[in-house]
Amino acid sequence: MSKIGVMICGHGSRSQAAVDQFSVLAEKLPAYLPPEWAVEYGYLEFANPVIRDGLDRLRAQGCDKILAVPGMLFAAMHSKNDIPTVLNTYAAKHGIEVSYGRELGVDPKMIAAAGGRVQEAIAAANAAHGEVPMHETCLVVIGRGASDPDANGNVAKIARMLHEGLGFGWCEVGYSGVTFPLVEPCLQHASKLGYKRIVVFPYFLFSGILIDRIYGFTDQVAAENANIQFVKAGYLNDHEQVLATFAERITEQVGEIPPPNCAMCKYRTQVLGFEAEVGAVQESHHHHVEGQGASAPGSNVEDCTLCDSFCTGLCRLEKQAKGHDHHDQSHDHDHSHDHSHDHSHGHTHGHAHSHDHVHAEYPHADHPHGPESARKSPKT
């Protein structure tokens, strides 16, 4: 019989706090799995250990069947392309079986975890400042933001489930990078709606530079709107329902028919506005930032000549203006290139045509409420 190992594939961060929080989650996960399964983790970029290191440790423990899952909320470029590339390359090199499960996705348990964080924030605000009726409260959900409308749409669905489930008076959805609206224009819009309280909820797993950006812009807009109470909700972190969802994404891979891991994939089917990306070749682009950690260029906002107390994303625009838009070493590090992916459980779709490292451009990169909005807040 095969010895099963579990590989949790994280994105990685230049924020040591984010890396530490991810490792704690990985350490808590074995309690939700069969005791004989070995569990390791690794990161796609920046942080150590990298994914290959975790796979090496599982092989050293005698594992010849590995159940891998992306440690990410939604399926965009990293989980659809970059991580599968690393896993497929490793499996072929070492002759072991590596299956790849779904992202956390839109799941009742994840919505429960999100609702828990929002309710905790509201309870603390009520205790400190007095109760504000839910119908007089606006919820603002901020997602990661991607060049993949599938992932962006899932953020909006989570927001709607929270909006309707908890009974907020209104809900707005924003993103920390790449797409639109970004945090600041989203919050500016919400502040004009006439609500007494605005609850800002980052739908993120862990802390990091983007959380700093979300909270930084919240403080900035709150200072401009003293008549509105702004409440900063906590991110998901190691909520027990998050751990339960991770465990389900792992164990479902050994079921009779593992579920597909990206049902609405722009690399497989035509998605409005992204039709040209069907069949794009699979390739990962993170080898040159593997393991750099919190010392990577752009990790510390105090080193930035463009931003004050938090990263606004202006550095990316500056890089683009100079004609360099491939994996800039800024502390924003949003990516705008997309490729295909090849999974090992029943819906393989790799492509054999040549590839010269050209990346599809996000079609709305010039949207005034997208990354261009960062030009409004340069360092003074």
CATH number at residue 150: 3.40.50.1400
- Counts of helices then strands in the chain (DSSP H, E): 10, 8
Domain count of the chain? Answer: 1
On whether residue 189 sits in a domain, the answer given is yes
| CA pair distance 49, 52, nearest whole angstrom | 8
On whether residue 322 sits in a domain, the answer given is no
Check: CB of residue 104 under 8 Å from CB of residue 239: no
On whether residue 85 sits in a domain, the answer given is no
| CA pair distance 241, 196, nearest whole angstrom | 31
- Torsion angle of the four alpha carbons 232, 236, 239, 243, in this order, in degrees rounded to the nearest 10: 180
- Radius of gyration for the alpha carbons in the chain, expressed in angstroms and rounded: 21
Question: Can you give the pLDDT of all 380 residues of the chain as single tens digits?
Answer: 789 999 999 999 989 999 999 999 989 999 999 999 999 999 999 899 999 999 999 999 999 999 999 999 998 888 888 999 999 999 999 999 999 999 999 999 999 999 999 999 999 999 999 999 999 999 999 999 999 999 999 999 999 999 999 999 999 999 999 999 999 999 999 999 999 999 999 999 999 999 999 999 999 999 999 999 999 999 999 999 999 999 999 999 998 776 665 555 556 665 556 677 777 665 555 555 666 665 655 566 667 777 878 888 777 777 766 765 444 333 443 333 333 334 443 333 333 333 344 556 767 677 777 778 877 755 55
Please give the angle made by the CA atoms of 11, 14 and 20, to the nearest 5 degrees: 75
Give tens-digit pLDDT for 286-302.
555 666 665 655 566 66
On whether residue 159 sits in a domain, the answer given is yes
On whether residue 192 sits in a domain, the answer given is yes
- Nearest CA among 166, 163, 219 for reference residue 191: 219
Handedness of CA 79, 82, 87, 92 (dihedral sign): positive
On whether residue 346 sits in a domain, the answer given is no
On whether residue 167 sits in a domain, the answer given is yes
On whether residue 154 sits in a domain, the answer given is yes
Quote the domain boundaries for residue 217: 108-237
